[in-house]
Each structure stands twice: as structure tokens, then as C-alpha cells.
């Protein structure tokens, strides 16, 4: 899998290099093409060389694109296979965690652990204690904040 990613990455880098070479050769051909018929022998030779390089780069670019068309579906298939396996694995991990949490809650609500106190009774007693604490704290001046407006 990693080998396939490296191959695709290498092909992408090659494609970018060939594309930049094509663009620079195309600019050179355009510059020589705008001069029209007023070209010297040296400029004709240069124009011919630039067009030849441009054709070579186009063929190289097309071959890279063709290989990418065969390699990318494999990489995508490998990636989707891995993602499917990962999602199944995560599902079963979550299922295991929830199962463990359910067992812990069941132990807390059983008659053996809490000496006939139910889980709801424990929560009610905690809320009652919280209400008493909240009332006593609300009378303190330090808990009443004033916000200043900064300009």
C-alpha cells in the first residue's frame, strides 16, 4: 500500500515537472511565433528545437497520465478497503466500550453494591446536596460578577 502511494506521488511530481517544462517551451514557441516570417536562421533552428521538445514533453505527459489512470484506481481501492476495515474495527471498539459502561452502570444499580439504594436515589441525593451548596454560594458577593465594557 505504501509502495503504491510512493509510486503515485512520484508520478504526480514527474507530471508537474513535465507540465512546467511544457509551459516554458510553449512560451518560447509563442514568442518565436509572434515574430512571424521575420526569423533568422538561428531563430528558425531554435523554433524547431522548441517545437520538438514540446512534442517530446507532450508524449511524456500523455504516458504519465496513462499510467496514472491505471495506478490511481488501485490506490483508491486499497484506501477504501482500509477505510472499511477501520470503520468496522472502530464500531466494535465502541460497542465494547458501551458494553463495559453498561456493565458498570448495572453494577451500580444492583442491590448488592449500594445496600438497597438505587442509582436514581443516589443521583437525587447528589442533586439535593448540590442545591444546598448552590443556594449558599449564590449569597456570596464574589460569585456575582460585573462585566465592564472596554472600548
pLDDT digits (tens, 9 = 90+) for 117-136: 566 777 787 788 878 777 77
Centre a 10 Å sphere on the Cβ of residue 16 and count the other Cβ atoms it contains.
Answer: 11
CA distances to 81, 82, 85, 94, 99 from 88, in Å: 11, 10, 5, 10, 16
Query: Highest mean pLDDT: which of 7-11, 59-63, 143-147?
Result: 59-63
**Mean of per-residue pLDDT scores for the chain:** 80
Return d(Cα 81, Cα 29) in angstroms, integer.
47
Return d(Cα 109, Cα 87) in angstroms, integer.
33
Q: What pLDDT, on the 0 to 100 scale, is given for residue 94?
A: 92
Return d(Cα 31, Cα 49) in angstroms, integer.
14
Predicted confidence band of residue 142 (pLDDT cuts 50, 70, 90): low
Predicted confidence band of residue 1 (pLDDT cuts 50, 70, 90): confident
First to last CA, the chain: 58
The residue ranges of every structural domain in the chain are: 2-110
Q: pLDDT digit string (tens) for 19-69?
A: 888 888 888 878 777 776 777 788 778 888 888 888 998 999 899 989 888
Q: What pLDDT, on the 0 to 100 scale, is given for residue 102?
A: 85
pLDDT higher than threshold 70 for residue 109: no
Percentage of residues in the chain having pLDDT higher than 70: 80
Percentage of residues in the chain having pLDDT higher than 90: 13
Amino acid at each position: 500500500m505504501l509502495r503504491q502511494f510512493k509510486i503515485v506521488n512520484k508520478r504526480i511530481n514527474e507530471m508537474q515537472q513535465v507540465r512546467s517544462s511544457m509551459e516554458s517551451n510553449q512560451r518560447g514557441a509563442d514568442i518565436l511565433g509572434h515574430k512571424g516570417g521575420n526569423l533568422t536562421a538561428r531563430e528558425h533552428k531554435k523554433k524547431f528545437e522548441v517545437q520538438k521538445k514540446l512534442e517530446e514533453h507532450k508524449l511524456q505527459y500523455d504516458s504519465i497520465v496513462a499510467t496514472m489512470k491505471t495506478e490511481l484506481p488501485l490506490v483508491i481501492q486499497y484506501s477504501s478497503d482500509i477505510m472499511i476495515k477501520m470503520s468496522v474495527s472502530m464500531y466494535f471498539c465502541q460497542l465494547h466500550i458501551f458494553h463495559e459502561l453498561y456493565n458498570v452502570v448495572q453494577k451500580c444499580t444492583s442491590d448488592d453494591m449500594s445496600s438497597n439504594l438505587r442509582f436514581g436515589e443516589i443521583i437525587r441525593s447528589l442533586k439535593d446536596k448540590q442545591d444546598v451548596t448552590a443556594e449558599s454560594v449564590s449569597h456570596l458577593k464574589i460569585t456575582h460578577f460585573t462585566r465592564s465594557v472596554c472600548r
